Amino acid sequence: MARILLIQHMYHPEGEALLRAGSEMEVEVLSEDTLAALLPQLADAEAIIARTPARVGADTITAAPRLRVISTSGYGTDNIDIPAATAAGVVVVNNPGSAENSVAEHAVALVLGLAKKLTWSDAAVRAGRPWDFRRGFEAIELKGRTLGVIGFGRIGREVARKLHEGFGMEVVAYDPLLDVATLVPWARRAPSVEELLPQADVVTIHCALTSETRRLFDERRLSLMRRGALLINTARGPVVDEAALAAALRTGALGGAGIDVYESEPPAAGNPLFELDSVILTAHTAGLTVESARQLALSAATQVLAALDGVRPTNLVNPEVWERRRGAAGALVER
């Protein structure tokens, strides 16, 4: 009987139901990702599904000699030690595409909320403050303004498409992996982040967290943004230096920020962004709708079951492990 460990419940119960449907599967749900909490279950574990922000580090992988597959709960894989998994011959899968529209809609909602000062207006009405539209309100129109997109993959392109086609924004994109030949005709390509930032009224972040993108938006780069510009982050928290962002917002150098992800999650009580009314904060929920939660859970469950059954999963993060296995066993099934 294969033991599957879930670090936190899956986003939707149908995912867990699919895992439990097989008579040869034993599913254990754990609430902590520490080695001490996991250790009693790791000796027999053949699969782990880790829901962000739970981490699967090298120590966890080493303590699980029967481990064959690790799945993320979504697209990002920065919570898994990929080199350690690869060295141990453990397949890692992620779940791209399932939350693409959900994240894009959330990013657009943050842009609109900031541009139209929705939280300011809501607070004014609830508190009975004077409706002085010359002070504090200062909503803007998006039509004709420039959207800067950092990371022009599926989510970045979808955010850009919605804001270009729906609201008339101009689009400039930066992505080091972007092939200029495949750039959509209504978007311009920036050769660097530094050249994009001064052009944009709104900047939305959709890049993965890597050693190159960690603190990508530091004090220096934030200072390159247009005065009064808006910053949206639905990617990964450590891409933005929160202290530097808070300082730029306090001085009015930036007009507002929409933040769904944080340097540490959940953010500490003293986070400097909490005190600023020019910020909209959400709880890492951009990718979670009723529809996307179900798709993410079913995708993770389906891929884990496939890997355990010797069938190549759809979204391999480290495909070289699968190729090594196939070469060693000569009997793995390909779709």
- Residues annotated catalytic, as ranges: 236, 265, 284
3 state SS for the chain:
CEEEEEECCCCCHHHHHHHHHCCCEEEEEECCCCHHHHHHHHCCEEEEEECCCCCECHHHHHCCCCCCEEEECCCCCCCECHHHHHHCCCEEECCCCCCHHHHHHHHHHHHHHHHCCHHHHHHHHHHCCCCCHHHHHCCCCCCCCEEEEECCCHHHHHHHHHHHHHHCCEEEEECCCCCHHHCCCCEEECCCHHHHHHHCCEEEECCCCCCCCCCCECHHHHHCCCCCEEEEECCCHHHECHHHHHHHHHCCCEEEEEECCCCCCCCCCCCHHHHCCCEEECCCCCCCCHHHHHHHHHHHHHHHHHHHCCECCCCECCHHHHHHHHHHHCCCECC
The answer to whether 308 touches 2, Cβ cutoff 8 Å, is yes
> What is d(CA 159, CA 168) in angstroms, rounded to the nearest whole number?
13
- If you compute the radius of gyration of the chain from its CA atoms, what whole number of angstroms results? 22
